[in-house]
Amino acid sequence: MTSVRDEAVQVTWDDPSCPDAARPRILVIDDEPHISAFVARALEHSGYQVGVAASAADGIEQAGAGGCDLVILDLIMPDLDGRAVLAAILRSRPTQAVLVLSCSSDVGTKVECLDLGARDYLTKPFSLAELAARVRAGLRETAKRSEVMRLGDLTLDAGRLVADNGAGPAALTRLEFLCLRALMEHGGGSVTKSELLASVWGIDFDPGSNLVDVCIRRLRAKLGFNLIETVRGEGYRLAS
């Protein structure tokens, strides 16, 4: 049986004077009522508005209606596979932030969910403290997506997932956006593959794959092959 360790959760939106409209809204999609109720209580204690969906169909409907700052999605649902739920949510709302919960620690499953568009992936059993931290990070990510970053001739529109290096706008996937943003945040400094794996894919070890190299190739194809330089023995950096 999946367990959730009961730990103190950092309160972030507990000011009673804060109006409901200013409180982030989180939707929990999980068919296990004791898990969803426990998570909902913890998040409500931290001041968030929380809705619960006990089925995939209900979750897709509620998420599709909009108004959710973050969706927490259990990957194993009885009426529809969680990956199909994730894909359905993002088809109707491409910029929706989704945190996937899963019993599987398999790297392939995690990468598949991130490739589908999940913002984060948390393995069960989890601590409430870690869940709260992931929620805060997900909400910060949502806020960042309204920004437009500029570095020289390069602009990155986080709200539309569009980049322009002077030759016209190019649409990016979520992973391409995260990878380019990580490079821009380092200015002209080099970023190692390990750092990119951690910041883009949430993987804190090298699985021996070419995830980073493939993403860099796609960015070069969309924005110019001279935009990103390979730093031999280190990683990548934006050309100065």
Is the pLDDT assigned to residue 218 strictly greater than 80?
yes
Determine what percent of the chain is predicted with pLDDT higher than 70: 87
Same fold, 4-144 and 148-238: no
**What is the C-alpha end-to-end distance of the chain, expressed in Å?**
53
Structure letter (DSSP) for residue 66: -
CATH architecture entry for 4-144: 3-Layer(aba) Sandwich (3.40)
Domains of the chain: which residue ranges?
A: 4-144, 148-238
Tell the residue number behind the tokens 């108004």, with chain if given: 67
The half-sphere exposure of 18 on its side-chain side, counting CA atoms within 13 A, is 11
30-58 pLDDT per residue, tens: 999 998 999 999 999 988 999 999 999 99
Is the pLDDT assigned to residue 9 strictly greater than 90?
no
Annotate 152-213 with three-state secondary structure.
Answer: CCEEEECCCCEEECCCCEEECCHHHHHHHHHHHHCCCCCEEHHHHHHHHHCCCCCCCCCHHH
Is the pLDDT assigned to residue 19 strictly greater than 50?
no
Categorize the per-residue pLDDT at 16 as very low, low, confident or very high, splitting at 50, 70 and 90.
Answer: very low
Instruction: Give yes or no for a contact between 8 and 130, defined as CB atoms under 8 angstroms apart.
Output: no
Letter for the amino acid at 136?
Answer: R
- Top pLDDT among 89 and 8 is at 89
Is the pLDDT assigned to residue 61 strictly greater than 90?
yes
Q: Which CATH class is domain 148-238?
A: mainly alpha
Categorize the per-residue pLDDT at 122 as very low, low, confident or very high, splitting at 50, 70 and 90.
Answer: very high
Q: What are phi and psi of 48, to 5 degrees?
A: -80, 155
Query: What pTM, to 2 d.p., does this model score?
Result: 0.61
Q: Are strands 126-127 and 120-123 parallel, antiparallel or unpaired?
A: unpaired
134-145 pLDDT per residue, tens: 999 888 877 666
73-106 pLDDT per residue, tens: 999 888 899 999 999 999 888 778 999 999 888 8
Q: Across the chain, what does the average pLDDT equal?
A: 85
